[in-house]
Each structure stands twice: as C-alpha cells, then as structure tokens.
Structure 1
C-alpha cells in the first residue's frame, strides 16, 4: 500500500515593515517637548525677573523713606542740641537707655540717654549736656571742655631759670634731686632699686622764692607744667572742687611726664576738724580727693607734685606723711650771704651809681625777703631817676 504523501510546510510570513516616517515623527515630538520646556523656563525666568524688579523698586522706595526719616531724626537731634543745655556730671548707667546724672545744683536725676550717644564715652565723672526741660542726656563733652585747668606745654613754660633766683642754693639742690632728677633720669632710681619722691612741699615766709623755684624746675625739664592755686578748687557748687582735683591729675597722667604745682595749698589742706557748715565740709571733701589722687598714681607714671604754702603748721598730717609729700624744703628769710646773692641778682640789670654800696644793705640786720628788697629797690631807683632828671619821662 502506498504511503500517503507528506503535507508541505506553510511558507513563513515576512517581517513587518515600518514606514520610514515614524522615526522622524518621534524625534520631532521630542524636540517639541524640549521647546515647550525651554519656553516654560523662559516664562518662569521672566516672571521672576519682573518680581525682582518690583522688589528692587520697593527697596529703593523704602531706602528713600529711611533716608528721609534719618534726616528728620538728625534735624531733631540738632534742634535738641542747639537749645541752651545744662552741664551735668554722669554718675552711672542703669540700663542701655537710662542713667543717673548729677546737676550743678547738687541734685541727682534719673534720665533717658539719647540713642545716638556713644555708650563707651559715658564714664563716671564725665561732663555731659542735659536738655534744659526734660534733663535728657543729649551729648557728652570732651574731657577738656568743662575744665578750668590749663596745661602749659614746652613752648609756654615759665621763662625763669635757676640763675634768676638769688641765693637758695640748698633749696635748689634739694628740689633738683626730688623733682628734676626723677623726671630726666628716671632709670637711675630703677638701677638703685628705690622709688623717687612723689611730692615736695615748699614752705616758708612770703617772698622767699618758692613759686619762682617751682617755675625754674618746670623750665629746666621737658615735662608739662600744670599750675593751680588752692583757692581755685573751692567752687560755688558742691562737687565741683573734687572734680577739678580729678581733672588736674587726669590731665597730668595724659600728658606725662608732668609737674603739678599747687600754690597756697593751705586753702584746701588745713587740718580736718568737726565741720559745722557746708563750705567747711566741701573743703574737707576736696582734701580727701587730693589725698586719694596722690595715692592713686603709681611710680611708673612720671607725675610729680609740688606744693607751696606759707603756713605749713596748719596742714593736715595725712598730707605730710611720707608717700605723699616725701620732701619738705624750707625757705627761710635770707641771711647775710643770701642777701648779697639776692642783691647781686636783683641789681644785675640796673644802672647803679658808684655811690651805691650794696654791702651797706647787706650788713643791716633787717629781716626782709627777696621780694621785699626787689620791690623797694626798684621803687627807689625809679624815684631817683625821676628826681635826678636823667630821663625826660613827663
């Protein structure tokens, strides 16, 4: 039996063919999406830029407004500071905006401090300006503005030398050792290991050369010279005298090396007693401040204190102790040798006749000072010149 014929396998279908334009369409669509993204970002940046410009305009307007407010505030401060102000003394800070000040009438006030004031300048005892109505603190005065203490620099020192002082050889030597040498050769005391004298007291009858010798010391050193009279510390209002004492020593420390010369110190340094009046208590407060200031500066600061008085017996013992006034130099009335030296100095520039015998004046036992002799001799010489018709004066 013949085998049945085998069926033939069906032919395989060809692979599907894609049109060539389909790939191009896909890339075009992706490009369109990218364009949409860029356009969106552009619009977003434009909106952000517009927002920034609006903010910039707002900031500029706000800056203009702040500048106008600042100008108005500055004009207000100027207006407040332009009216007559009251001088006061700053005492202490309470907080960042308030403090306690003292007025010249002796009263203390709790006041507001102007916001533009530099708080670092508000130190105790600083001179400040107060509004006349509200007493608000509106300004801080420089340290030298409200001080009656004057300082003489190197070009303004007294034109007095040691040669202008007749006699006083011992006194000259002692004051040079106590004042001039520590100022000009301070290192010598360091080498020896001792402290130089802090203060010197010149005492003796009037007209014996105490003030002139203090001026001569200032002339022969490069130190600043501060001269005050004891009575200048006694002021009308309470607290002014101690403040002036602080100003003197502050000025000396700032301009060290310096010499403080207090003439007629017995006006503020008499022995303390049970004061019954406000004036006496104020004088004693001035003395206490003087003692405190003399203890307050150390030896590294080249400040020397010279005091002169005609009444050393009335001074307070606390002022005379070592450590404050280490040297006491007496100026007695001149003896015969000192008289001769005084006469030579006083008559050096005078036109004396050959008939004038200075030894006759020297040998007289009269106790006169150098100032008495100088004044009387100049007056006699003037009268003699007039009566002898040596010069056509009138």
Structure 2
C-alpha cells in the first residue's frame, strides 16, 4: 500500500482494527440521534424551558469524547454549547411565538464533529392574530388588529388567524399574480364581527368574510387576480390537516388554470366556505387539487364557477380521500364539479349524516 494511503485527511491511521472504510476521515465519530422533543413539536405559550435529549439507538461509539449542542431561536444567531452534558440539556428563557432549531454533534479526541440532523420545535403565540379590513396594528387584539396579508406573513406554526367580516384583497396594487398563501399548521378563521373572545362566538354565515380577487376595476373581471387562494407544500414538507380554511367566501378569481383555490402537496381542511364567481379558461374555475393532495371539504358550496374546460376540477393521479359534506356543485358555462382521475368519490365523515348533491361528475377521460 502506498505510504500516502496509510493515513486519512487528518493524519489518523487508516487501518483500525483491521478495517478500512475509505472515508475522508478514518474512524470518524458517528452522528447522534435526536430523541426529544420530536421534530416539529409544539408547546403552549407558558412553556419557558424545554429539555433537549439525544443519544444512540445502541451503545455509544468508542470514539465519542463529548458533544456540542447548537440551537437557534427565530432569526437570532446560532448559539453553541460545548460539552452540554451526556445526553440532555435544558434550554431556558424561551418566550411565546418562538421557533427553535437544534442539532447535536458527536466530538472525537481530535475535535472532529459529526452533526445530527436538525430538529425544530415551536412555542405558541398564546393568542390568535386578529385581522380587520383596515387593520394597521400588530394583531395582538381586536383593538390592535392587523391586515390579512401581514397576518399571513407573520404567522408561525400553531397560529390561528381570526378575520373580521369584510372584503379582503391579496394586494392593493394591480399585480394579478398576488394571492393569499396558506401555511402549514396555520388555521385561518373568518366570520367574526370583531370583539369575540372565543371561536364559538363567531357567526360565519352572518358575518360574511370575503377573499376577493377583484383587485382592479370593480366593473371588470379581466384584471382580477389570477388565483385567490394558494395552498402549496412539497413532497418532503406537505401542508397537512393542521392547515385550515374556515368561514370564508372565495370569489372573483380570473385566470388561466384554476382561479379559486389551488392545492399541491396539500391535504388541508376547507370548511364552511362558499366558492363562487371564479373564472378560469382551463383547469378549474373553483378548485384544483393537484399531486400529493388529499384535501377534506366540509360544508362547502360551489356556485357560478366558470371554466371553458371544467367548472371545478380536482386532479390527482391516485384515489385520495376527497370529501364533500353538504357540498353543492352548480354547472354554469362548463362543468360544476369535475373529479378527474379520482373516482370513486369517497364520502365519509364519522358521526355526521352526509348529504351530497353534485350536479355533474364527468367520467375519467
């Protein structure tokens, strides 16, 4: 064996115990496993300390001499803790509305570090974000309400956004690409009068809360937003049922491919929603649920959604649990509701009597 192959990059003997792994560093320490809190765990607002725990599924490797913990709170600079303890560390001084990322490295005698994957956990805000049509505050109360786009930008996992009656536009400019973008584990509730202290006090049928794409000339639709609501995740980080849209009217989208709600990698809950008066030249005037999505619709009304191809369209390559409870599809200049590559339609909602009327289900083509 050539002399230069007998040591690794750091000068350590490459043959150890008769074994060579041909890595850049021979015998480098393995990465520890993070045990607690679980990735993406949530805590209540009064949780000001969290115990971080890590270790090994088996015995600790011989080469591990110590550990280094690194954590970051929100957008602050990362903090490193050298030799934090054998397998746990108590992180204190946590505040509401915090997101913490953390990881641990095993350290060998030469100081080489091998990092674990990064986990996240979050501390809830402790109150909803309050929204009114003309809100300019920080969203901490109805008296200090903010606007809806600011609330969506501000919202973190675990947040609820309470939206008072009125009409909301995705932009105050003429930018037709603007839309309301949903986030994972953020629940959006409309139907408030303003002043409620519990969710049960709202009356979403009386207090109409409208998400409108009519951003331009109010007498013309061709300059409206191309899409009103967007729910897009990724295959690695999809939007789940912890993302909720509840108590809204979605109207006046005008575009080429889906103008009401578009979903991709998004298995969200849409509930107590009226989707109306949206136009798309193709691919769904009302809703399009694309790949990786299993949305659940409860108490959703579809009316006057126009498409030269399909009035309301749901696309998925397999057979997802697409659910409509008390749903109504009304055909107008296209198809009221098209289920394409999704049949059969599964209707299930435990403990609830389901009554469904769909004017037209187009066959698989």
TM-score category of the 2 structures, normalised to the smaller one: under 0.3
| Greater Rg over alpha carbons, structure | 1
Q: Which has the higher contact order (CA 8 A, sep 6+)?
A: 1
TM-score, structure 2 length as denominator? 0.23
Which structure shows the higher helix fraction?
A: 1
Which structure shows the higher strand fraction?
A: 2
